[in-house]
Amino acid sequence: MSALRLPAAFLPSLRCPHCRQPLIQESAACFRCTAPNCGREYPVVAGVPILIDESRSVFNLEDFIARRDTYFRSRPGRLRALRQKLLPSISANIDSADHYRRLAQLLLERRERPQVLIIGGGILGEGMAPLLEQPALQLLESDVSITSRTMLVCDAHDLPFADGTFDGIVAQAVLEHVVDPYRCVEEIHRVLAPDGLVYAETPFMQQVHAGRYDFTRFTHLGHRRLFRHFEEIESGVICGPGMALAWAYRYFLLSFVSSPLLFRLVDVFAHLTAFWLKYLDPYLAQKPGALDAASGYFFLGRRSTQILSDKELVRLYRGRMQ
Ligand SMILES: [Zn+2]
């Protein structure tokens, strides 16, 4: 039986994702809701608690249990790994690392050992190193899949934590993959402490990239409205028009082919002929037109009790079509 990967500091804040009552760890393999009229059980798989309310989630507890012996054992094929290593990327986040550095600084101004929830933390987010390297931060890396980083599996529609638990929450490239991003941001708001910080990066001009688990895109103002219960510290382009064009070009070429072999060949061709477009993005991101054509946006904000009205929202447009 593996040791629990969830840091003990977070145990008192855990709540049943169904009824929000406290949970107890009943055994190394199980958490149980303490509410007598609920009493739901949640398994621990590979040391990771699976705190998902099956009645409201697209995910099932049984799927995690069935795969319990496979976690941390599969490696990508050698050829695939080599291709990923050699092919230049067509994607680039412009200054995520600076944003994470700023977030870490703001969190440390709040208190000595801030608690931070990373939603979608199973894969290391681009530019996230400055956050992870800060030893004073207590990080909880959650996801809907178990990887070598996952400490807890939960669904962002029903975050299994008490109100006001976290000083900061990060959702990088997550909110396009949830069926109801508005509900997820409400949950983020609920589990953040007063004046807690949120940092999100969410795509705008990007094609489907996670198969069946890809649902929504946001404009810059659409993204701002999603966080209308937050005061903005900063927002803008995180992935630029160059990356948007490279993605559109790659998916355009790939839409011609259906055989897996041709798909791989065309994919290599698309990467080799379009990777340079991303180098234009740091320059383009400074221009108002980039706010209308970006591949993705970021939002750094502070939990608020005020709501940004839609009248105020439309005044915030900073794009080229004034
Ligand atoms: Zn319950």
Structure tokens at 155: 């669904």
* Ligand 1 is an ion; residues with CB less than 5 A from it: 16, 18-19, 33, 35, 38, 40
Give the CA angle between residues 320, 251, 272 to the nearest 5°.
95
Q: 3-class secondary structure for 234-293?
A: EEEEEECHHHHHHHHHHHHHHCCCCCHHHHHHHHHHHHHHHHHHHHHHHHHCCCCCHHHH
Closest CA to 9 of 118, 171, 137: 137
What is the spatial distance between Cα 176 and Cα 192, in angstroms, rounded to a whole number?
21
Give, as one character, the DSSP assignment of residue 151: S
| Distance (Å) from CA 171 to ligand 1 centroid | 25
The CATH class of 78-315 is alpha beta
The domain locations on the chain are: 8-66, 78-315
In this prediction, residues 244-268 reach a mean pLDDT of: 97
In this prediction, residues 10-36 reach a mean pLDDT of: 96
Question: Cα 303 to the chain's mean position, in Å?
Answer: 18
Give the CA angle between residues 263, 144, 63 to the nearest 5°.
85
Structure tokens at 10: 């977070």
| Distance (Å) from CA 22 to ligand 1 centroid | 8
Closest CA to 238 of 292, 316, 295: 295
pTM of the full predicted structure? 0.95
| Distance (Å) from CA 56 to ligand 1 centroid | 13
How does pLDDT run across 41-95, given as a tens digit for each residue?
Answer: 999 999 999 999 999 999 999 999 988 878 776 566 777 778 778 899 999 999 9
- At 313 the three-state DSSP class reads helix
- At 175 the three-state DSSP class reads helix
What is the spatial distance between Cα 153 and Cα 155, in angstroms, rounded to a whole number?
7
| Distance (Å) from CA 32 to ligand 1 centroid | 8
Q: Is 270 exposed, middle or buried (0-12, 13-18, 19+ CB in 10 A)?
A: buried
What pLDDT shows up at residue 74? 58
Structure tokens at 244: 């948007």
What is the phi-psi region of residue 48: left when phi exceeds 0, alpha when psi lies from -120 to 50, beta otherwise? beta
| Distance (Å) from CA 122 to ligand 1 centroid | 25
What is the spatial distance between Cα 207 and Cα 211, in angstroms, rounded to a whole number?
10
Give the DSSP H or E segment for 297: strand 296-303
What pLDDT shows up at residue 98? 97
What is the spatial distance between Cα 74 and Cα 31, in angstroms, rounded to a whole number?
27
287 close to 217: Cβ distance less than 8 angstroms: no
152 close to 182: Cβ distance less than 8 angstroms: no
| Distance (Å) from CA 152 to ligand 1 centroid | 17
298 close to 96: Cβ distance less than 8 angstroms: yes
In this prediction, residues 275-295 reach a mean pLDDT of: 97
What pLDDT shows up at residue 86? 87
| 210: confidence class by pLDDT, cuts 50, 70, 90 | confident
What pLDDT shows up at residue 6? 96
Give, as one character, the DSSP assignment of residue 46: T
| Distance (Å) from CA 97 to ligand 1 centroid | 38
296 close to 125: Cβ distance less than 8 angstroms: no
Give the DSSP H or E segment for 50: strand 48-51
Give, as one character, the DSSP assignment of residue 180: -
Structure tokens at 278: 């991303």
How does pLDDT run across 100-146, given as a tens digit for each residue?
Answer: 999 999 999 999 999 999 999 888 889 999 999 999 999 999 999 99
| Distance (Å) from CA 16 to ligand 1 centroid | 5
